C-alpha cells in the first residue's frame, strides 16, 4: 500500500468513524425526543398535608412520585439512592420536585430520614416533599396512575414514577428489556443510573424546549 492510499485511509477513518458512532447512538431505542405518556388525569394532591405543614401540587410541576406508606424503615436505601442519583442532580431545575406518599403517623421517622439525607449528600432538601394520607387516599392516588401494579399491605411500592406538569404518567412503552416501564425500581442503582436518569433528562429537556419556543421573540 503506497503512502497516498495510506493517507486517504487514515483521513477516512478520522472523519467517517466519529459520524458512524454518532449515528449508532442516535438510533438507540432509549434516545426519545419526548417521553411517552402512559396514563392521564392522575389525582391531585393539593389537600394532602406535607411534613412542613403546607401543601403541594402535581399540576405545573415535574414530580418524582413514590409510595412508601407505612414502610419508611425499609426505604432508607431507596431514599439514599434517589437522593444521590436523581435529586442532587436535578433539584435546581425550576418546577422539579419529589413527592413521597406516607401513611399518617410517620412524621418522627421523616425527621430522622431528612437528617440522614442531608448528611449523605449535603443538598438543600426543599424539594423533597413527604405527604400524608390514609389508606383510602393512598389507594385512590395509586390507582389513578392506571398501572397493573399493586401496593403491598403497608401501602408501599418499590417503584417511583415520573409525573409531568399536566398530571400525566410518563415512562417507556418500548423498553430495551421488552417491558412496559411504568416506574423505576428505587432499590436498583443500575435501573436508576441506566434508565431513570436518562428519562428525567428527556422530560426536563422537553419542557425546556417548549419554554424556549414559547419565549422566542416573534419576527415582524
Q: Considering Cα of 139, then 173, then 207, then 87, what sign does the dihedral take?
A: positive
Same domain, 138 and 78: yes
Residue 45 falls inside a structural domain: yes
Q: Is the residue at 9 inside a domain?
A: yes
Q: Look up the domain containing 210 and give its range.
A: 37-215
> From CA 168, how far away is CA 220, in angstroms rounded?
36
Same domain (yes/no): 50, 65:
yes
149 in any annotated domain: yes
| pTM of the shown model | 0.81
For the chain, the domain total comes to 2
Domain of 109, CATH number, reads 3.40.30.10
Q: Point out which residues pair with 132 in neighbouring strands.
A: 102
Residue 38's nearest CA partner among 166, 137, 150, 156 is 166
Model confidence over 172-188: pLDDT tens digits? 987 777 678 899 999 99
In a domain, 108, yes or no: yes
Tell whether 88 and 157 lie within a shared domain.
yes
pLDDT number for residue 24: 37
39 vs 118 pLDDT, higher one: 39
Indicate whether 114 and 26 sit together in one domain.
Answer: no
| Residue 220 forms part of a structural domain | no
Percent of all residues in the chain with a pLDDT value above 70, rounded to a whole number: 80
Cell of 37: 405518556
pLDDT digits (tens, 9 = 90+) for 48-105: 999 998 999 999 999 999 999 999 999 999 999 999 999 999 999 989 999 999 998 8
Amino acid at each position: 500500500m503506497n503512502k497516498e492510499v495510506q493517507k486517504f485511509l487514515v483521513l477516512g477513518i478520522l472523519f467517517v468513524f466519529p459520524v458512524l458512532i454518532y449515528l449508532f447512538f442516535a438510533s438507540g431505542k432509549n434516545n426519545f425526543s419526548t417521553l411517552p405518556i402512559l396514563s392521564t388525569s392522575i389525582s391531585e394532591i393539593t389537600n394532602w398535608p406535607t411534613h412542613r405543614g403546607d401543601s403541594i401540587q402535581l399540576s405545573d410541576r415535574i414530580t418524582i412520585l413514590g409510595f412508601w406508606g407505612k414502610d419508611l424503615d425499609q426505604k432508607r436505601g431507596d431514599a439514599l439512592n434517589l437522593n444521590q442519583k436523581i435529586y442532587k442532580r436535578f433539584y435546581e431545575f425550576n418546577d422539579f420536585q419529589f413527592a413521597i406518599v406516607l401513611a399518617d403517623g410517620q412524621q418522627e421517622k421523616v425527621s430522622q430520614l431528612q437528617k440522614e439525607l442531608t448528611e449523605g449528600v449535603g443538598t438543600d432538601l426543599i424539594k423533597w416533599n413527604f405527604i400524608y394520607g390514609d389508606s383510602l387516599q393512598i389507594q385512590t392516588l395509586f390507582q389513578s396512575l392506571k398501572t397493573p401494579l399493586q401496593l403491598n399491605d403497608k401501602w408501599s411500592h418499590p417503584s417511583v414514577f415520573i409525573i409531568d406538569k399536566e398530571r400525566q404518567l410518563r415512562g417507556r412503552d418500548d423498553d430495551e428489556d421488552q417491558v412496559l416501564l411504568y416506574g423505576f425500581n428505587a432499590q436498583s442503582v443500575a435501573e436508576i443510573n441506566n434508565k431513570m436518569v436518562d428519562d428525567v433528562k428527556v422530560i426536563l429537556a422537553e419542557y425546556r424546549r417548549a419554554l424556549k419556543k414559547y419565549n422566542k421573540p416573534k419576527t415582524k
